[in-house]
Copies of this chain bind each other. A is one copy, B any other.
Amino acid sequence: MASPANLKEESPPLLNARNLELESIDFFVRLMSMLGMPRSVGEIYGLLYFSKDPLPMDQIASRLGISIGSASQGLRTLRSLKAVRTAYVAGDRRDHYFAETEFRRLFSNFIKDEIMPHLDSAKDRIGRMEKSLPNHSSEEDEFYAVRIEKLRRLTKAGGRLLPALAGLLKL
């Protein structure tokens, strides 16, 4: 008889693949959401991550039970991060997507696109703060000057560390 202790080896392969897929979707939904991405983006990436073949948009949408609008927008986001790419499939004019799985590159793109622009505008803002400071530094103003300097150091450190981070990511 089938032993419950051995379920793993006896389940049909397709079921196993489906389990993986579900765990993967769950995994990436959470990861992406930590990075501020909507659920659908995580779902799509999670599905593609464990898909052997590139999938066309309509299959992605129907497999995940999301609208083609969501799928289109989610894929746009993933494309812009270079997290998915398209493959040519002979005799099918739909685009077929597959996951880019080099996480080092993914994070590097993410940092460049989603974080560095904020850092840049933060620098502008700090410049403006300094203009609000009297330049003849009374003891009173010392407090503000120190606080501003801290912000400047923070953004400077961020600007160095974050881009370096992906490089450290030796996977």
Asked whether A58 is an interface residue with its Cβ less than 8 Å from the other chain, the reply is no
Residue of B nearest to A34 (CB): B118
Q: Are A103 and B154 in contact (CB under 8 A)?
A: yes
List, in ascending order, chain B residues with CB within 8 A of A17's CB. 144
List, in ascending order, chain B residues with CB within 8 A of A168's CB. 161
Majority-rule SS of A interface residues: helix
Which 8 pairs from chain A and chain B are nearest by CB? Answer: A19-B132, A153-B171, A16-B132, A23-B129, A20-B132, A103-B154, A157-B169, A27-B125
Sample of 9 further A-B pairs with CB below 8 A, known A8-B131, A27-B126: A16-B132, A16-B134, A19-B129, A20-B148, A23-B129, A23-B132, A36-B36, A103-B150, A157-B169
